[in-house]
Amino acid sequence: EPEVTQTPSHQVTQMGQEVILRCVPISNHLYFYWYRQILGQKVEFLVSFYNNEISEKSEIFDDQFSVERPDGSNFTLKIRSTKLEDSAMYFCASQGLGGETQYFGPGTRLLVL
């Protein structure tokens, strides 16, 4: 069964450093998402992406964040200058055309020190 994959599973970084989180969505899906879950809190929407552009972004998704689909398979989330409060689990999800379900990857746990 096709699944969404994410790398790395864990990342530790210093405050102010740039991080890139990678996702490989399900191959025929067209809609892509990033969510995050701060420890002990609910899952929050960050951004949605379709047809090579952002469809919607939340207030969390400020100028420090960017997304890209560089090669038609990977979908990346970049945080330019990480802050302590960026520490969270980041989930990628993908959705097929005409489908309602978002399929989630296993997540990347980011720790900013």
Question: What is the contact surface with other proteins in residues (CB under 8 A)?
Answer: 31-33, 35, 41-45, 48-50, 55-56, 58, 91, 93, 95, 97-107
User: Considering beta carbons, is residue 2 or 99 the nearer one to other proteins?
Assistant: 99
Residue 39 CB, shortest distance to other proteins, in Å, is 12
Cβ burial 45-63 (10 Å sphere, 16+ → b, else e): ebbbbeeeeeeebeebbee
Residue 53 CB, shortest distance to other proteins, in Å, is 10
DSSP one-letter code for 40: T
Give the residue among 99, 95, 97, 82 at the shortest CA–CA distance from 108: 82
Residue 19 CB, shortest distance to other proteins, in Å, is 19
